[in-house]
Amino acid sequence: MTENRMEQPMNDNKIISLERKELMGVFLRFSCFPMVTINYERFQTLQYFSALAPVLKKLYPNKEDQISAAKRHMAFYNTTPEWMGFTLGMNCAQEEQIANMPQGEERSALEDSVNTIKASLMGPLAGIGDSLRATVEAIIGALAAGFAMNGSIFGAILFFVLGNAYYFGISYFGFFYTYKNGMKVIRDMNKSGILDRLMESATILGMTAVGALIPSWVGFKLTSAIQIGDYVLNIQQELDNIIPGLAPLALTICLAWLYKKNISSLKLVGLIFVFSLIISLIL
């Protein structure tokens, strides 16, 4: 136990504390199997409860208290899987505190706050988590694709290793940090704006990495040449003299603009096919 975590009021009974191995059990259950019980009624609720169940059984020897705790964690829950740890860690700290409190209004208020915290955080965490995951996966995928396109198995290994390092890294940090610091982590996040800065930095990095790979990824070259008297104009060479990779960049910007105009990906694929056919006939 640490001083930074939620202070634990004592009752007349023996203090019940969670050990490291029990917390690791919670971490492994939610991080390794975050979506195994997903359904359209409660989404991740069952797995969330499953991760906590052994801990609740230890904290509440009384059967009625176990049932009450189980009901608290059967409310609807859904967020980005690797960010589930941020609420789970805090809930573990809360349940540990509740288990060592005498019955009364203060304990009832803390019990009610368990679901309040989950409900208030799962949306913002999902917004941050989904956006950050998309950015990270784009960067990792871009790096791995460079090797894979050259026929190297290192591309698949790199994607697997870096992808899991990000996933388990976020899961581990979120769970143990919020367990240790309790509500302090929420106040720190709101005051410092660290998540906003992290998202902005990750977005810039992702856009830069993906943008730099456009010439390698987008295979768009104008191979035809135009005869002007004795001079042969190589269109692709002239474009590369202006800006290397200008043709694929222009095509990508055009497609991105059309996508923002709510043109579906399927229609864009068809448009690329028609455009390529016309260009091949003209040039």
Is 200 found in the same domain as 243?
no
Residue 3 has pLDDT above 60, yes or no: no
* In-domain check, residue 14: no
Is 173 found in the same domain as 47?
yes
Task: Give the single-character DSSP code of 43.
Answer: B
Is 242 found in the same domain as 191?
no
CA distance 175 to 67: 24
- Give the least confident one: 32-41, 51-60, 183-192, 258-267: 183-192
What domain count does the chain have?
Answer: 2
Residue 96 has pLDDT above 60, yes or no: yes
What is the domain extent for residue 234?
220-282
Average pLDDT over residues 109-135: 82
Is 200 found in the same domain as 85?
yes
Is 177 found in the same domain as 278?
no
Asked if 101 and 65 count as a contact pair (C-beta separation under 8 A), the reply is no
Is 261 found in the same domain as 202?
no
Per-residue confidence (pLDDT) for residue 135, from 0 to 100: 85
Is 139 found in the same domain as 72?
yes
Is 55 found in the same domain as 195?
yes
CA distance 65 to 71: 10
- Give the least confident one: 103-112, 117-126, 240-249: 240-249
More confident site: 129 or 195: 129
pLDDT level of residue 38 (50, 70, 90 thresholds): confident
Per-residue confidence (pLDDT) for residue 130, from 0 to 100: 84
Residue 7 has pLDDT above 50, yes or no: no
Per-residue confidence (pLDDT) for residue 52, from 0 to 100: 92
* In-domain check, residue 15: no
Is 113 found in the same domain as 45?
yes
Residue 188 has pLDDT above 70, yes or no: no
Average pLDDT over residues 215-225: 68
Residue 1 has pLDDT above 50, yes or no: no
What percent of the chain has a predicted confidence (pLDDT) above 90? Answer: 22
Question: Of the residues 210, 235, 269, which one is the last residue of a structural domain?
Answer: 210
* In-domain check, residue 269: yes
* In-domain check, residue 158: yes
* In-domain check, residue 250: yes
More confident site: 103 or 201: 103
- Residue written as tokens 């368990």? 114
Is 258 found in the same domain as 182?
no
Question: Of the residues 210, 235, 268, which one is the last residue of a structural domain?
Answer: 210
C-alpha dihedral (123, 82, 190, 55), degrees to nearest 10: 90
More confident site: 238 or 33: 33
- pTM > 0.75: yes or no: no
Residue 4 has pLDDT above 50, yes or no: no
Per-residue confidence (pLDDT) for residue 200, from 0 to 100: 67
Residue 167 zone, left/alpha/beta (φ > 0; ψ -120 to 50; rest):
alpha
Residue 8 has pLDDT above 80, yes or no: no
Per-residue confidence (pLDDT) for residue 94, from 0 to 100: 86
Average pLDDT over residues 125-141: 86
Return contacts of 70-75, CB within 8 angstroms, 24+ apart: 72/111, 72/114, 72/115, 73/45, 73/48, 73/49, 73/114, 74/42, 74/45, 74/49, 75/45, 75/115, 75/118, 75/119
